[in-house]
Chains A and B, each alone.
Chain A
Amino acid sequence: AQKVTQAQTEISVVEKEDVTLDCVYETRDTTYYLFWYKQPPSGELVFLIRRNSFDEQNEISGRYSWNFQKSTSSFNFTITASQVVDSAVYFCALITTGGYNKLIFGAGTRLAVHP
């Protein structure tokens, strides 16, 4: 079975703090894709990153970085020097190759960044 677990329901930080959002996934497939989406208060899901199972290289995009570790089935997301605009619900998701591109989402982590 495929599953995504985001154990952190809510995180609250003060602006400029670094914060890491955890994501653990389960799949028996050897080929799969992992994603992070951001859902700000407006409600629209915004695509942040896609990573395939054969590429364990970590990625950095501005203040955002992602750490993919197959050994622990984790795909964690770090925001450096957080800002109030980062306040949103963040979803980790999984697609497996036999799944017709069906996104399997975690429950989401609500991040509140306070001034």
Chain B
Amino acid sequence: GAGVSQSPSNKVTEKGKDVELRCDPISGHTALYWYRQSLGQGLEFLIYFQGNSAPDKSGLPSDRFSAERTGGSVSTLTIQRTQQEDSAVYLCASSPRDRQETQYFGPGTRLLVL
């Protein structure tokens, strides 16, 4: 079946602009996760959704970052007033109800803030 998909694949934006990154999880997966991969910080957890609610937002680096998930499916990660340090690859993952700890990742969105 189809894996996790993310769009856009690449995004170049100017400092101060807002960006939206989209994640479409594997069909039927109840849990959804966002991670960030950057050269200096490695792979970092950002936020976790169970259905439409986010019990763990502990990884969001600042209040410029927000995420939502609607209909228990697609999720959007929004970064407001982007900064150069936001440049990274943003990875989305999903996991099935019966094995929620096993996460399957999408190809990522490479964000470059100029």
Contact = CB atoms under 8 A, between A and B. Distances in A.
Interface of A: 33, 35, 37, 42-47, 50, 91, 95, 100-108
Contact of A91 (B33, B43, B95, B107): B43
A100 B91 contact: no
A47 B105 CA distance: 8
Interface string B51-72: 0000110110000000000000
Nearest to A35: B102
Interface in B23-63: 31, 33, 35, 42-43, 45, 48, 55-56, 58-59
Contacts of B42: 105-108
9 contacts: A35-B102, A42-B107, A47-B102, A47-B105, A50-B99, A91-B43, A101-B101, A102-B48, A103-B33
A44 B100 contact: no
A101 B30 CA distance: 13
A101 B103 contact: yes
Interface residues of B, number: 26
Interface string B65-102: 00000000000000000000000010101010001111
A108 B99 CA distance: 24
A47 B106 CA distance: 11
Contacts of A95: 101
Contact of B108 (A43, A91, A108): A43
A54 B45 CA distance: 25
Interface core residue of A33, A105, A108 (most chain B CB under 10 Å): A105
Contacts of B107: 42-44
A86 B38 CA distance: 23
A105 B38 CA distance: 13
Contact of B48 (A47, A101, A104): A101
Contacts of B45: 102-104
